[in-house]
Chains A and B, each alone.
Chain A
Amino acid sequence: EVQLVESGGGFLRPGGSLRLSCAASGFTFRNHWMHWVRQAPGKGLVWISDIKHDGSSARYADSVTGRFRISRDNAKNTLYLQMNSLRAEDTAVYYCVRGGDGYSFDFWGQGTLVTVSS
């Protein structure tokens, strides 16, 4: 059974930093692109970053470029998101997502809440 379990969310002040982790199991992690998608309270889904299966390439949404960094450890089956210079508008549930066929997002973690507030 595919499982993606996020951790690391919490409450912090604007300007702070946080690292999210996503532990993957039930599939061959190193074979899949992985993504982070976020959802602000009561709002829609927003893709923010992805990373190639071998970690050699990463992309970011404009809203987080220069502040967030995605990475992965294929030996540990874990995806990361380092978030710096956090803003109130970064408040959201962050989902770890597996890339599937046809560039779809075929499995999602349960999400971890990040709250940025003064």
Chain B
Amino acid sequence: DIQMTQSPSSLSASVGDRVTITCRASQSISSFLNWYQQKPGKAPKLLISAASNLQSGVPSRFSGSGSGTDFTLTIISLQPEDFATYYCQQSYISYSFGQGTKLEIK
């Protein structure tokens, strides 16, 4: 099984900040990496597929990069609605998610 490890597990930031969340796979997954945002009590929402492909309707302040085993999600100029939990997911062999990164308001 492919293990996905996100860091940090939690993060405090302020509106307007730039934040980066890292996701590491236990083996190479090429670019089969997706990012999701989940708000409390809601279903997850797909933000980025294939490591860097921003989904339609997702603000351009979100971006993804990486390939192989190391990936990042970057949010520039944080907005109040961005405070949520973020999950990475590999879809190279079966599917597995990272443990999540909770982004909180400082």
Q: Chain B interface: which size bin?
A: 20 to 34
- Residues of the A chain whose Cβ atoms lie less than 8 Å from the Cβ of B97: 44-47
Q: In the complex, are the beta carbons of B91 and A110 less than 8 A apart?
A: no
- Flag whether A95 is at the interface (Cβ < 8 A): yes
Q: Please give the number of chain A residues whose Cβ is less than 8 angstroms from any Cβ of chain B in the complex.
A: 21
Q: In the complex, are the beta carbons of A47 and B46 less than 8 A apart?
A: no
- Residues of the B chain whose Cβ atoms lie less than 8 Å from the Cβ of A103: 32, 34, 91, 95
Also in contact, A44 and B50, with CB within 8 A (given A59-B94, A106-B55, A108-B44): no
- Flag whether B14 is at the interface (Cβ < 8 A): no
Also in contact, A108 and B94, with CB within 8 A (given A45-B87, A102-B32, A102-B50): no
Q: In the complex, are the beta carbons of B99 and A44 less than 8 A apart?
A: yes
Question: What's the least CB distance linking A111 to chain B, in Å?
Answer: 6
Question: What's the least CB distance linking A61 to chain B, in Å?
Answer: 8
- Flag whether B67 is at the interface (Cβ < 8 A): no
Q: Which of B34-71 contact A (CB under 8 A)?
A: 34, 36, 38, 42-46, 49-50, 53, 55
Q: Which of A96-114 contact B (CB under 8 A)?
A: 100-111
Among A44, A46, A104, A111, the residue within 8 A (CB) of B46 is A104
Q: In the complex, are the beta carbons of B96 and A47 less than 8 A apart?
A: yes
Q: In the complex, are the beta carbons of A45 and B44 less than 8 A apart?
A: yes
Interface-centre pick from A44, A50, A100 (highest chain B CB count, 10 A): A44
Closest 8 CB pairs of A and B: A103-B91, A108-B43, A104-B49, A102-B50, A47-B95, A102-B49, A104-B34, A45-B97
B-binding residues in A (CB < 8 A)? 35, 44-47, 50, 59, 61, 95, 100-111
